[in-house]
Amino acid sequence: MGGASFDEVLAATPGGLGARAVTTPRLHPVLAGPEQWAATVWATEAEVRQPGAVTPERLQRLALEVTWLKLHGFVQVCRLLAEFHASASGPHLGLSPDNVMFTLAGQGRSAAPVRHAFEAWLVDVGTMRQPLPQGVGLLGANAQLPTAAPDVPRAFVSPLVEAARNTVELVLHVHARAAGAERAGTLLLELKVVRERPDGVQAGDLVRLVPEGRLPVLGDQPLVARVASVGRDVVTAELQLPAEMGAALPQALPPFVATATFHRRLDAGADRFALGMLLARALLGHDRRDLFAVRELWDGILDRLASSAARQADPGKRAASLRGLLESERQALASESVLWPAAWREAVPNPVPTAIWRELMLLIGRLLTAGTPIATAPDADGDVLAPVLATAEDLLARLQIERSEVDVRAKELTTVALQMAATATAAMVGPGGSA
């Protein structure tokens, strides 16, 4: 946690340690033991705390190492989440520090610091499922309405999840026709809005239609279909019927009026908000800013982005707006935030290279806005975490270079400075030995 003592780590754990209260303190002698920070020459945690032990040079190396370690943990969580998406065919929606655990290898006696040999784990089964709407219509084996469990910390719950908890109900004019022989039993539905627009409805959502009168073959039963596309005033959907019912239907049904209830269907992309909050908490939380203050900071930035994004349809232009907002908050988002104690942050401003830190903040913003009307990057087809991992791994490699070269550059700069000072002194003294 950027130089926090072990006691401070325990005190900062949201909700306490719970079942970990017995096992976690055993880590103290390991993490506080000799040579547990590769970037420093400090021997033990106690020596780190001694007055005068902290120098700006050491703090810069420590900040680089802490940022690298935290980003390394974030990359591991992204990979685990991608595996979860592939196996569950849906989002996790429960991602938070409560279910991300790290195991450490070794007992602190090896040459490498223990905290460099960690492995992340997701320790729960993830998302809950809402009951599917009932009615005539085959939704398929993969049909599901995932939602977040009620005990997920609110700071990590995506606005997409909040929106999906509220169903959208509209009165619609419906035109239905058969899809054709190659898609026997499928009805194509054109749903025209009578009064309100279908705001918030997306392709893949489920819709339950309650006709106002009886329909041929179908009677007065509710119909359940998948949304195929959403226009300004028209929604199209596909209704898959049981074979015998589909065979008995005419090529087209007479137009009818129905009350439609739309159920939002969240996909794997809904987990990106929680990933963004995990990264924001890791990089920006310290002894004077807790998780809720980090969330408040970003909520303010995103509210301002939403105000400007209302006039910008292009994600690239919204990304440019986000860059400007991050620049306006550069003091609150400064890279010394990665160091836990206030005294250390004051001693070494901006210890992480500005270009790398700016990209980290942009990555957080990209994750927090993904899939929303203020998204700062277009959604990729397929694996939604692939571009996130690509960006994070690139930044990880750049940080690794900074970690390995910072001492070399410092020595080179010192040598050059000494040579320049000697040259200047010789010029002032002159060839005769006097100024």
What is the pLDDT, as a whole number, of residue 337?
97
Highest-confidence segment of 121-125, 217-221, 392-396, 429-433:
392-396
**286, exposed or middle or buried, with CB in 10 Å at 0-12, 13-18, 19+?**
buried
- pLDDT of 258 higher than 90: yes
Contact 234, 191 (CB under 8 A): yes
Highest-confidence segment of 63-77, 86-100, 230-244:
63-77
For residues 6-11, average pLDDT: 62
- pLDDT of 123 higher than 90: no
Q: How many CB atoms lie within 10 A of CB 26?
A: 8
- Measure the CA dihedral 106/107/108/110, to 10°: -50
What confidence tens digit (pLDDT) does each residue in 212-232 have?
Answer: 989 888 888 999 999 999 888
Report the DSSP beta bridge partners of residue 229.
236
- pLDDT of 432 higher than 60: no
For residues 142-154, average pLDDT: 78
For residues 91-112, average pLDDT: 77
What confidence tens digit (pLDDT) does each residue in 368-410 have?
Answer: 999 887 888 877 667 899 999 999 999 999 999 888 775 555 5
What is the pLDDT, as a whole number, of residue 19?
53
- For the full predicted model, state whether its pTM sits above 0.85: no
Reduced to 3 DSSP states, what percent helix, strand and coil does the chain have, rounded to the nearest 5?
45, 15, 40
The H or E element that residue 84 is part of is helix 56-88
Model confidence band, residue 16 (pLDDT cutoffs 50, 70, 90): low
- pLDDT of 3 higher than 80: no
What is the pLDDT, as a whole number, of residue 15?
56
Contact 375, 315 (CB under 8 A): yes
Q: Which of 2, 10, 28 is nearest to 107 (CA)?
A: 28
Q: Which amino acid belongs to residue 224?
A: V
Q: Tell me how far apart the alpha carbons of residues 348 and 311 are, in angstroms, rounded to a whole number.
A: 39
Contact 152, 94 (CB under 8 A): yes
Model confidence band, residue 252 (pLDDT cutoffs 50, 70, 90): confident
Q: Which of 18, 78, 103, 74 is nearest to 283 (CA)?
A: 74
What is the pLDDT, as a whole number, of residue 413?
55
Domains and CATH numbers, the chain: 6-128+269-419 (no CATH), 129-268 (2.40.30)
Q: How many CB atoms lie within 10 A of CB 11?
A: 11
What is the pLDDT, as a whole number, of residue 183?
80
SS3 120: strand
What is the pLDDT, as a whole number, of residue 134?
85
The H or E element that residue 234 is part of is strand 234-240
- pLDDT of 18 higher than 80: no
